[in-house]
Structure 1
Amino acid sequence: MIRETVTLSTTSDFSGWRAWARKLLHDKVSTESIQWIVEAPPSLYGISATRPLPTAPSTASLPRALAAIFPAVFVSDAPDRLHLLYLTLQTLRDGMPVPDEVSERLRSIAMETRKKALDLRCQMPDASNPEWQILHTSHTAALIDSQADALSNLRPTPWIVMAPDRTLLWDGREYRFGPGFTGNELPPSEVIETARELATAGRGNAYWDGIAPVRLHPTPEKIESSSSLASLRAQAIDCQMCELCKLATRTVSGEGNPKARIIFIGEQPGDQEDLHGRPFVGPAGQLFDRALREAGGSRAEMWITNAVKHFKFTPKGHRRIHQKPDAPEINACTPWLATERRVLSPEVTVMLGVTAASAVLGRSVTVSRERSRPIPLEDGSIGLVTVHPSYLLRLPDEESKAREYTKFVNDLRMAISTLAG
């Protein structure tokens, strides 16, 4: 017998469900007595809206393992998801163990949702092209909503995700939600204009406050089993395998030609790379691009990445001062770099600086001793050690800078000529 009918604003209305679940658990309403429905309020896509929700003290303590999968279950398309979630909380409230079949069902649903989240992320272009990017997808509105944070970190420059049930727009500063729109027949300019008109609900609309993000929780085993660069990049946004993720803005993955014969590995993202989500775009990256061109190469032909994927820094006023990564941080990133190199399978790996060289060679390295000579690597390819371009920027006088810059260009030219045998 239905005792309570609860209306949620959207299929991604996790905060609404949580507030009502807490109230109903406190009032001892059984799961069989609740009817959950989704019905959009008139102001769902308004620029601003307020929303009253019930309040009640928590009566159930959720174990961390279950808490990690609740959002993924909630945004799934499993018809029994809300029943299962409430039943789990009800069981815990009563001091009973969650039945194995319920736990297994929850894990299975969460696994399937994460596969779909990974698929959606893999479709998002990187930030190398700063122009608006339009992504057409058939994923559900709830799944798209749950990936808003991840997608804006994957691509900090503007994009639009369009699906039959949701339009999600990121303008480079904030994201906004709107109803579904496909626009397959329209030119990009009209798609962007229409999406801007539709996607009007943002931070000022309380109905969109509290969407639970679905995270992928990458582990070394999952990373090493990855078969594509897109999958690595999609998972890396959720990396928490060292402490650097807590302060950095985002994970910065590699970028370039996925069929590159040469890859360049630096130390870590800097301030500008962390903000823009791209490797080697700050002062050192600009110097690297110039040297690469003089050596006869093109960035578009290469793959450029870092040994450590998060920016390590110390705040100083409004500035962020670069700090060298420690061995545990380098080791934590080893699965990312090793799998990246395996997927790319380059013929030449250029290690820019001691951190990159140590990460690839697996031993302590003195750049001056190892520099400018081919090093056979375990995978049968050739390695080459040189300085990091930031070293050139730190030199005290113009004569030293000119001399060392020439040596750096020669090292890059040697790497390129190695391909010719």
Structure 2
Amino acid sequence: MTVHPVDQRLPAGQLLTFGLQHVLAMYAGAVAVPLIVGGAMHLSTADIGYLVNADLLVSGVATLLQCLGVWVFGARLPIMQGCTFAAVTPMVMIGTTGGGLPAGYGAIIVSGLVVVLLAPYFSRLTRFFPPVVTGTIILVIGVSLLPVAVGWAAGGVGTPGFGKPLNLAVAFGVLVLVVLVHRFVPGLLGRIAVLVGIVVGTVAAIPLGLTDFSHVGGSPAIEVTTPFHFGLPTFEPGAIVAFVIVMLVTMTETSGSVLAVGEIVDRPVDTTTLARALRADGLSSLLGGIFNTFPYTAFGQNVGLVALTRVRSRYVVATAGGILVLLGLVPVLGEIVASVPQPVLGGAGIVMFGSVAAGGVRMLKQVSFDGTNNLMIIAVALGIGLVPVAAPTVYAQFPGWFQTIMNSGISAGSIAAVLLNLLFNGVKVNTQPSDLK
């Protein structure tokens, strides 16, 4: 019996190598949420470090759950899980002006439970995701992530050296190296071109003064995250409503990413699989509230890596989840990974995120444009999805719930694509088709 590439168990060495590549690709994004929230709430360095370790631990558990599956939880696809950025604003608002971290974590626990309960109903919306919608969403995901990679390449938005020619030169060097290794090096090395680029780029960055490892070793050897470290959760209605909205946005983002992965690995996602993926998101977020971290969603960074490497085994990403768990338990390992400089990640990120966008273009090849309004659907949904990317503060004068939804280009573009497809293809009207082709 032929085993589908998604279910193939690769040799241990390859699992570890490919898994490490996934970890390095998503690490900066994975720890960004606890760093931003901790900084905005003026937590101590020790507490921020605790948040980071908790995040890595639960992110690893969430990834294992999504890849391997337990009962009705997990899509059993190569999907990497990480904190959703949609949680940053409400968490900071609740933490600074509301009931503090306990109220935030109480809201996360409740909203995670809501996702578990809603998952089988939300998953039935897959019929509203034909190729014109799914391809557009994947394209929006990739294009929305590219500015993140550019920010990394320039040295990190807000850093004193942002935009220095040296930063951009290192990023460009890593980008060129990834492309050349991918093109000319056969076998395993060619398939880990991103890892090669990150490792070589990090080594080259040491004499350039962009990174050093002198600070490594100051943390305890092992640090175990304990439940309710910041106090028992409280359950405030306003905070709960805010996070339920966040989780509805997250469910939309996860649906798009899961559908994208299904297309990339040639295992189309059905209603049952999507329900399992969403339940895993909900359960992971519930665990996040218990273990002092945040809601979780599928990471677009790693969708691009799957597309780029063509390594489809879910056990590779599960290995990456195991590495995250280890990083969460052994802080010194996290310090080593955290020493990878932003420009190096930026050079690799441009390739990965561009691969996501290219995957959307490839899917849109299945779409018919002659005598249809599909071009209008793609054009408008892409434009709406890129509004917050082009102008991040454009919705600053709107209510908080509106900002939560629309400040995510992925969710805004997804909602627009679904509604436009219903308007043009799902509702039968007696009009002539548009001449837009």
Q: What band does the TM-score fall into relative to the shorter chain?
A: under 0.3
Structure whose residues are more often helix by fraction: 2
Instruction: Compute the TM-score of the two structures, normalised by the length of structure 1.
Output: 0.24
Q: Which has the higher contact order (CA 8 A, sep 6+)?
A: 2
Instruction: Compute the TM-score of the two structures, normalised by the length of structure 2.
Output: 0.23
